[in-house]
Chain A
Amino acid sequence: MKLKYQIYGSQAILITWEPRIDHDILNDILLVKDIILKNQPAAIQDCTNGYNSLLIVYKCKVTNKHLESIMHLCNLRKSNEWQEKYTTWKIPVCYHISLGMDLKEFANLKDLSTDQVIEMHSVPIYTVYCKGFLPGFMYLGGLNERLYCDRKVTPILKVPKNSVAIGGKQTGIYPMESPGGWHIIGSTPVDLFDISKKEPSKIKIGDRLKFEAISLATYIEMDSVIDKIKLIKKID
């Protein structure tokens, strides 16, 4: 894969891949990230990625020397040596209309029954490509094309915390209350993001997840648990 290397501002380097949303690109980004963090751990302040990009923020001013050493590290990598290691998580979602306030309207808009929407949304395995927008918000790939849907014309001011929603070609979970223009189709009782933990999120970039439809009764039961981050279970 051909990469583009740029100095970004005074303290960062940006590496860019071809503009595609693709598992192979994600794996290569994670490989490069792993190599760089292992090679220059003391020099790096932060490292994060987009769908086809990796940002490396240094503690000091970046020079061409840094750029060259990054290029050198990248050129040495062998993609076939990358052991894809990811966890698949099960996220319970209640699609009851009391929680998915837009579900009926969304189904009408897409000329589907609400059951069909739920099925199409909970069958696929989604990939976590990156995080952003809100602390802990995951950009997921893998939405069924039949569910692609333009965002609402007017965003609402308060999308409730833990809402599961669809916007454009994406689906996601709001980790906290926020304004938003996506169609809210359900809610998860689990906490995806807990700031009191050293690692605020269990789910890592590159991980996979699957939504599991649960009843309102199960939702209420799970909602009463105190440590809701524990409710996220692995799928073997």
Chain B
Amino acid sequence: MTDHCGYIEVIQPGLSTSIQDKGRLGYLSEGIPMAGCMDRLSADKANLLVGNTTDVALIEWSILPPKLKFLAPTHIACTGAATTIFVNATKEEHARCIYIPANTILSLKPMKHGVYGYIAIKGGVQTPKVLASRSWFSGVTNDAVFKKGMQIPYFFSHKKHELNSKITSALSNEVSILEVYKGPEYDLLTKQQQNKLMSQKFSVSQLRDRMGIQLVEIFDEHETSILSSPILPGTVQWIPAGKLIVLMRNAQTIGGYPRILQLTEKSISIIAQMQHHILFSFRVV
């Protein structure tokens, strides 16, 4: 332990809490998924709130937030999925820079909207980099999710100062249009199917994780497969049974289903946080 280093002790790990950054770039040809923050917009905001650049690593949780003890002083900010935030017994605001004295317990109580939450720490989380990224991914990093008792390193900062703590979110919770590009196999669709794809309403199903999100509504059945070809986060795959799957950050690097659409970077963040009851449609930009 160096004298600049503080630790977060994991008291309750939450559901699938992990460390993420912008992802592991440059290893697709080794079959290594990019990984990285599911909702980049919220993650960037959290980092900016504590005065970080947007490329540093932070904590991502999903549905059930973790309970953490900060052993050394720092600043944090919580964004993404809405929560009631308690620093020891004091209630604090969401999406604000919060000063954390030594030996502080941070507990988050989840509320109804949003799926992924972020906790940025001033200076960034200092877990080891593997292949130039701190993003946790099973088989690449030693850890894949938070476990009780784990210690997460960060650089502590004594200086209690006011940071620019107002950054308005570009995201509304009731987005009903997802901007997309045509995917490489868009032309496999008939004119009729293309029209249907753009007019049909879709919603996200419970089958969702960091790899991908299956949509509830059936589109059309088909029998076309392609030779395994590279895929990207945000690619919409068309499954023979007629379902659509939106690939997310931990998606495999190669796939054999037609890639009919590609979400914009902003749309990837939006769908990551999308609630089950929201009906949306695609719009080509």
Q: Which of A10-18, A108-116, A148-156, A180-188 contacts B (4 or more CB under 8 A)?
A: A10-18
Main secondary structure of the interface of B (DSSP, over half): loop
Cα(A19)–Cα(B264), bound, Å:
28
Segment among B38-46, B103-111, B226-234, B271-279 that sits at the interface with chain A = B226-234
Report which of A12, A46, A130 forms a contact with B254, defined as CB distance below 8 A: A130
Is there a chain B Cβ closer than 8 Å to A200's Cβ?
yes
Known: A9-B181, A133-B254. A49 touches B232 (CB 8 A): no
B253 touches A48 (CB 8 A): yes
The verdict on B83 contacting chain A, using a C-beta distance below 8 Å, is: no
Q: Give chain B nearest CB distance to A32 CB in angstroms.
A: 14
Contacts of A6 in B (CB 8 A): 184
Q: How far is the CA of A54 from the CA of B184 in the complex (A)?
A: 12
Measured between beta carbons, the chain A residues less than 8 angstroms from B32 are 135-136, 200
CB contact list, B12-60 vs A, under 8 A: 25-33
Interface: B217 (CB within 8 A): no
Name the one of B31, B140, B181, B184 contacting A195, with C-beta atoms under 8 angstroms.
B140
Are A52 and B229 in touch, CB under 8 angstroms? yes
Q: Are A205 and B29 in contact (CB under 8 A)?
A: yes
Q: Shortest beta-carbon distance, A49 to chain B, in Å?
A: 7
Complex: chain B residue closest to A200, CB-CB: B30
Count: A-B pairs, CB below 8 Å: 111
- Decide if B262 is an interface residue (CB 8 Å cutoff): yes
The docked-state distance in angstroms from the alpha carbon of A49 to that of B226 is 14
A49 lies within 8 A of B29 (CB): yes
If A131-B30, A135-B32 touch, whether A12 touches B131 (CB-CB below 8 Å) is no
CB of A57 closer than 8 Å to a CB of B: yes
B183 within 8 A of A: yes
Cβ of A219 within 8 Å of any chain B Cβ, yes or no, is: no
- Would you give the 0/1 interface string for A131-172, flagging 1 where the beta carbon is closer than 8 Å to chain B? 111111101000000000000000000000000000000000
Which residues of chain A from 180 to 223 have a CB within 8 Å of any chain B CB? 193, 195, 200-201, 205
Of all chain A residues, the one with the shortest Cβ separation from B142 is A195
Asked if B226 contacts A8 (CB within 8 A), the reply is no
A54 to B28 CA separation, bound complex (whole angstroms): 11
Name the distance in Å between A182's Cβ and chain B's nearest Cβ. Answer: 15
Q: Which of B30, B229, B255, B265 contacts A136 (CB 8 A)?
A: B30
- Contact of A200 with B131 at beta-carbon distance under 8 Å, contacts A45-B25, A57-B28, A176-B139 already known: yes
The answer to whether A45 touches B29, judged by C-beta atoms less than 8 angstroms apart, is no
CB-based contact B31/A133 at 8 Å: yes
Question: Which of A7, A9, A51 contacts B234 (CB under 8 A)?
Answer: A9
Could you write out 14 A-B pairs with CB less than 8 Å apart? A9-B232, A9-B262, A16-B229, A19-B226, A50-B228, A52-B227, A53-B230, A55-B28, A57-B28, A130-B228, A132-B254, A133-B31, A175-B139, A200-B32
Chain A residues within 8 Å of B, Cβ to Cβ: 6-10, 12, 14, 16, 19-21, 45-55, 57, 130-137, 139, 175-176, 193, 195, 200-201, 205
- Which 6 residue pairs spanning A and B have beta carbons closest together? A132-B254, A50-B229, A55-B230, A48-B28, A131-B31, A48-B29
